[in-house]
Amino acid sequence: MAADAKLSHTAAMILQAIHAGHIYGFSVMQMTGLPSGTVYPAMRRLERDSLIVSKWEQQSIADREQRPPRKYYRLTRTGRATLEAAWERYPLLARMIPSGEAEAEAERV
């Protein structure tokens, strides 16, 4: 998908949430307030369009903490450019989900 492609508001919110450091599906749901039936399929479509990439947490980390591995998401370069284009269309987006709030969580992973 081209960087100047038009995003729906839902997709832009999800991209903004991931950009802000909410890298798990559940934390994206919590931050955006969108239900599960919307967030996960939308993230799959964003991934298909190469705006985000998903990766499984390392099994060794999950084993150490005695829990199943989680899947986390990151913006791609195209996704970042698309999000920046979406900021012009949705100026309140960055205020609704400010960046940096969950960066500590992202760094922990």
Binders of another protein in range 1-60 (CB under 8 A): 24-26, 29-30, 35-38, 40-41, 44-45, 47-48, 54, 56-57
Residues contacting residue 104 through CB under 8 Å, at least 6 positions apart: 21
Nearest CB to another protein, comparing residues 17 and 88: 17
Binders of another protein in range 58-87 (CB under 8 A): 67-71
Q: How far apart are CA 2 and CA 79, in angstroms?
A: 9
Beta carbons of 12 and 86 less than 8 angstroms apart: yes
Residue with tokens 């399929």: 41
Phi/psi at 24 (nearest 5 deg)?
A: -100, 155
Nearest CB to another protein, comparing residues 34 and 96: 34
Chain residues that interact with another protein, rule: CB under 8 A: 24-26, 29-30, 35-38, 40-41, 44-45, 47-48, 54, 56-57, 67-71
